[in-house]
Amino acid sequence: MLRNFQIFKSPNLQILCMFAAMNPEIILLIIGLYFLMLVAISWMTSKNADSKDYFIGNKKSIWWLVALGMISDSLSGVTFISVPGNVFGEKFSYMQVVFGYVIGNFITAYILLPLYYRLNLTSIYSYLGQRFGTITQKTGSFYFLLSRTLGAAARLYLAAGVLQTYLFQPFGIPFPISVLIIISLILIYTYRGGIKSLVWTDALQSVFLLTALGLTLFNLYAYINWNTAWTIIEENNFNQVFVWDWLPKNNFFKMILGGIFIAVTMTGMDQNMMQKNLSCKNIKEARKNILSYNSTLIVINFFFLSLGVLLYVLASQQGIDLPLKPDGKVATDGMFPMMAFNHLGAIAGLIFIVGLTAATFSSADSVLTTLTTSFCIDFLKVNPEEVESKSNKNRRHGIHILFAIAILISILLIQKLNNGAIITTILTVAGYTYGPLLGMFAFGIFTKINIREKGVIAVCLIAPILTYFIDLYLPIHTGGFQLGFLNLPVNGALTFVGLWFIKKSTHIVL
């Protein structure tokens, strides 16, 4: 009886959904309407926008809208596609990282936010400039630019790959052109309004993402044979949350500590996540935003992982072959799209496209604005408080476009190199690129020591390299012990020690 259950009973709607799931023209129409909605919101919110609106929303952002928008910033296509698929190999152990995220966001709310508001920052790397000097500020900004360009590219690659298969490929459009189209659409509605517009568009995209998740779970309920579901879950250990073995990378303590430091760096020390927080009226509202966003993490990620478990249960019950990569391994990132379009009924494809479209645009829109902000302030020394001249505005727009091109090139490189779940790739890369940021901020906050700035670049290059070799050779000499997500705090600790070695004798108080 459950298998005949449908979310919507209307025969006309069922016909439309069946047509949409099979017809790329209808998929194109859905994406087009969604895009026009974003453009309309951007147009209404960016009227008479100036540099203050672009950089910090003129300090008038509504805190709960910022909190809602942060969900789509942190989820994007990675959570929507890769987290459910990654259940095949990692089971429910990803929840250990999420528990760490929650702890890390409290550190951001009560240690980093007060610092940024006290110094009245627009770019958070201005703190490094005030604390140490221009070289350190630019080094911190460089690692953010590198981290976020690669991270945004990986997120966008995942969503664009699915759209390529089900939308652009039927029209004979090659992948590079598909990505160019997507980025061009994002440019159109982020070009003028900056943070002022993104607070609204990202909040809307969070609503669509979460709605798509809820409707997919509700629709999936109809297809599962619940009499045998739990047996399949136990046989495959899909319900495994905690891993106590010290050797693998998903050990409990490694994942918890890794999650804490990932949240501190990828939220609290990341311009993309903090810029909208700094656009709130005051620190009280910014903190409410962080804590409200933080309270949703466990529930949302639990449901995404549950979605992955149920997809694999259904595949097992109905004898569905899992998608494979050329090397014969399971293509975990292809699991959710395959099931949505081919095995969950016509309406699932429609729901999936809406959710994926929201994930696609949220993957890169705010990143383009915050990359531009960081480069303008940290490298070009733009003062967001000053009235912006026409030439400076044109320069800002040009930088915005250049970062869009950089993300496009990065996506094409990832297409050539990717061989695993994107969620794992992003967090692994983050350990190497965010480690120096962790070390610099920690040294500035927890010591009163000045440094010889000429050595900062060398320290921040050597620390990730040493971390890589430790990660590479540690399993060989310890019987298989893997760092996993601990590569981030190890990298940060090495950076901290390196800064200690280039200290000056003069102490300061900030």
Does pLDDT of 1 surpass 50?
A: no
For 32-87, give the secondary structure using H, E and C: HHHHHHHHHHHHHHCCCCCHHHHHHHHHCECHHHHHHHHHHHHHHHHHHHHHHHHH
Residue-wise pLDDT for 128-184, tens only, equals: 999 999 999 999 999 999 988 888 887 788 778 878 887 888 889 999 999 999 888
- CB contact set of 350 (below 8 Å; sequence gap of 6+): 17, 20, 21, 30
In the chain, the percentage of residues whose pLDDT exceeds 90 is: 37
% of residues, the chain, pLDDT over 70: 89
pLDDT of residue 307: 92
Instruction: Give the C-alpha distances (Å, rounded to integers) separating 419 from 55, 79, 286, 289, 415.
Output: 37, 18, 38, 36, 9
- Rounded Cα distance between 18 and 305, Å, is 27
Residue 117 in this model has a pLDDT that exceeds 90: yes
Strand partners, 330: 324
pLDDT mean over 257-267: 91
Position 4 pLDDT exceeds 60: no
The predicted structure's pLDDT at residue 171: 87
- List the domain boundaries for the chain: 2-423
Q: Which of 300, 95, 310 is nearest to 217 (CA)?
A: 310
Render the burial of 197-215: b for 16+ CB within 10 Å, e for the rest.
bbbbbbbbbbebbbebbeb
Fill in the DSSP letter of residue 280.
B
Distances (CA, A) of 443 to 23, 107, 263, 496: 56, 16, 18, 6
| pLDDT for residue 422 | 58
Superfamily holding 2-423: Sodium/glucose cotransporter (1.20.1730.10)
Residue written as token pair 């440094």:
451
Q: What pTM does this model have?
A: 0.85
- Span 492-506, average pLDDT: 91
- The whole-number pLDDT of residue 505 equals 66
390 vs 289, higher pLDDT? 289
The listed range with the strongest mean pLDDT (86-100, 362-376, 457-471) is: 457-471
Averaged pLDDT score across all residues of the chain: 84
pLDDT score, position 69? 83
What local confidence, expressed as pLDDT, does residue 205 receive? 84
pLDDT in tens, 327-370: 778 888 788 888 888 888 777 877 888 887 787 777 677 888 88
Q: Which residue has the tokens 């909190």?
A: 67
pLDDT band at 10 (very low <50, low <70, confident <90, very high): very low
Strand 449-451 to strand 503-507: parallel, antiparallel, or no bridges (unpaired)?
antiparallel
Q: Crossing angle of helices 456-477/422-433, nearest 10°?
A: 130
